[in-house]
């Protein structure tokens, strides 16, 4: 297959603008990859071949006429099944929403389309994004392109696989508990979970939204290059009246103190050797690039992870009560919800729930004090090698192990911090490794600067072709 489909998004846009390739040719090359890989990998649930070709033709016509085009004109992107795109139903991986075609695009979609980028397909996800693997009863399982024996991650697994394999150049995903960073780690790509409020989220209806969704979930981007994450951020960020959590946020300068707190084994609960080695490689890369690196344990990390879990499961048990749903959740989502909520011990009283939210300010203040001294925190996304499919199923013990392995990742969601997942090479089995770089609140660009230095030293990854 043609390597042009594996360029970065802005490199593709430059090639189109400079007329080294037409937008039509570029879209056809991505569609060829979809035809070749998607039947096996099931990353994209819907493919917009005809519409994408028409939009590509419009880009080429504008360039031929000398008309100015947007910075991502002709670049194909995928959209997670939970983010509104008027071209197809926003199913959220649930059968009851199979015909739920939205009336308008989510703001992040409309902003990306305004740059000239072209939707090429919908990214698969588990029901309501609840799982850390990607499978549902509507579309089936997404397969990791590196090995079918390993999970593709979730919940933005379809977009992670699409970006890794050149089906799309950018993926719009969301991250409530690692749902961008885990697929990035699993598939060897880069992923940005921005600060809470930096990117508007899916269109908000008149229906109530659970407090954990308001505070823990953000829209973000998956890409093959950190540069694409960094350059796409100003095109997507900014306040939108439809999302009351969105803000016009100040940015912590990328020139802030270049100091990194490294946590190789958060809380000392154990990590795989390959995970520890990946953190060490990233730390060495940052040190060589001029960052001051020290091993420091983030404060109140266990409390942050526990509070995220109990609050999230309390809201899930309430909002996804099987007795209140018109159509049951899929089989795997039902098992995950049952086992996770039972193991997490949801709060039973309003007082407990309120006290848990009150502790968030205490934890956030402790982290803010740390990040004044060490603006960047480097650590694992997952404490073990990417496990097999359905690693988050199998009873309460499996659900608890998955949460424990993701302790640093979910703490980021609890606090609303920005974090960039970036590859760190292959392990001895030839599988991707990676880390995350956590910035201070509103320090998205600082986290991206650190990720860029890791990528410069350790390179990017491409799955083997089949």
- Ordered by start, the domain boundaries in the chain are 7-458
Cα Rg for the chain, rounded, in angstroms?
Answer: 21
How far apart CA 401 and CA 464 sit, in angstroms, is: 30
Residues recorded for the chain? 466
How far apart CA 345 and CA 169 sit, in angstroms, is: 40
Which burial class, exposed, middle or buried, applies to 103 when counting CB atoms under 10 A from its CB (0-12, 13-18, 19+)? Answer: exposed
How far apart CA 440 and CA 372 sit, in angstroms, is: 8
Q: What is the pTM of this model?
A: 0.97
pLDDT in tens, 247-265: 887 776 666 899 999 999 9
Q: Indicate the pLDDT class of residue 86, thresholds 50, 70 and 90.
A: very high
Among residues 82, 155, 217, 232, which one is catalytic?
Answer: 155
Among residues 78, 80, 88, 285, which one is catalytic?
Answer: 80
Q: What is the pLDDT of residue 1?
A: 40
> Is 217 known to be catalytic?
no
CB atoms within 10 A of CB 394: 14
How far apart CA 377 and CA 371 sit, in angstroms, is: 8
Among residues 82, 151, 179, 232, which one is catalytic?
Answer: 179
Q: What does the mean pLDDT of the chain come to?
A: 96
Mean pLDDT for 18-37 is 97
pLDDT in tens, 219-231: 999 999 999 999 9
> Is 155 known to be catalytic?
yes
- Starting at the edge strand that comes first in sequence, how are the strands of the sheet with 218-223 ordered? 44-47, 118-123, 76-80, 170-175, 218-223, 190-193, 419-426, 432-438, 376-379, 259-262, 292-295
Q: What is the pLDDT of residue 165?
A: 97
Mean pLDDT for 373-383 is 98
State both tokens at 236: 């997507």
Q: Are 341 and 318 in contact (CB under 8 A)?
A: no
Pick the CATH number of 7-458 from 3.40.50.300, 3.30.2130.30, 3.90.1300.10, 3.40.190.170: 3.90.1300.10
State both tokens at 145: 């392109």
């Amino acid at each position: 297959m043609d390597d042009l489909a594996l360029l970065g998004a802005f490199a593709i846009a430059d090639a189109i603008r400079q007329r080294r390739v037409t937008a039509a040719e570029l879209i056809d090359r991505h569609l060829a990859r979809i035809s070749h890989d998607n039947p096996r990998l099931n990353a994209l649930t819907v493919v917009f071949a005809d519409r994408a070709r028409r939009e590509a033709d419009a880009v080429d016509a504008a360039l031929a006429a000398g008309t100015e085009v947007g910075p991502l004109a002709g670049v194909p992107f995928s959209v997670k099944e939970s983010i509104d795109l008027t071209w197809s139903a926003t199913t959220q991986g649930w059968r009851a929403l199979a015909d739920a075609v939205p009336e308008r695009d989510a703001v992040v979609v409309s902003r990306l389309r305004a740059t000239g980028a072209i939707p090429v397909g919908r990214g698969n996800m588990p029901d309501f994004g609840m799982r850390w693997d990607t499978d549902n009863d509507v579309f089936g399982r997404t397969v990791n392109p590196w090995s079918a024996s390993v999970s593709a991650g979730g919940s933005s697994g379809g977009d992670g696989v699409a970006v890794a394999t050149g089906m799309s150049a950018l993926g719009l995903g969301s991250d409530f508990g690692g749902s961008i960073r885990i697929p990035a780690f699993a598939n060897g790509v880069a992923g940005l979970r921005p600060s809470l409020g930096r990117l508007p989220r899916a269109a908000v209806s008149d229906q109530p939204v659970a407090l954990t969704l308001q505070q823990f979930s953000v829209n973000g981007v998956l890409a093959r290059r950190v540069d694409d994450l960094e350059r796409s951020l100003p095109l997507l960020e900014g306040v939108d009246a439809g999302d009351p959590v969105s803000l016009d946020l100040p940015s912590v300068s990328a020139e802030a103190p270049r100091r990194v707190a490294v946590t190789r084994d958060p809380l000392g609960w154990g990590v795989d050797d390959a995970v520890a080695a990946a953190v060490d490689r990233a730390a060495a890369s940052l040190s060589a690039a001029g960052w001051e690196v020290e091993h420091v344990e983030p404060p109140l990390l266990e409390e942050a992870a526990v509070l995220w879990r109990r609050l999230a499961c309390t809201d899930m048990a309430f909002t996804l009560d099987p007795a209140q749903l018109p159509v049951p959740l899929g089989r795997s989502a039902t098992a995950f919800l049952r086992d996770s909520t039972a193991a997490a011990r949801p709060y039973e009283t309003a007082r407990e729930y309120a006290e848990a939210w009150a502790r968030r300010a205490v934890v956030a203040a402790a982290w803010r004090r740390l990040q004044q001294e060490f603006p960047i925190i480097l650590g694992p996304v997952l404490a073990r090698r990417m496990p097999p499919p359905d690693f988050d199923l199998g009873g309460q013990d499996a659900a608890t192990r998955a949460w424990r392995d993701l302790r640093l990742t979910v703490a980021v969601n609890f606090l609303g911090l920005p974090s960039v997942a970036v590859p760190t090479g292959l392990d001895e089995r030839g599988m991707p490794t990676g880390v995350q770089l956590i910035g201070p609140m509103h320090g998205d660009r600082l986290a991206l600067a650190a990720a860029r230095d890791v990528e410069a030293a350790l390179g990017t990854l491409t799955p083997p072709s089949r």
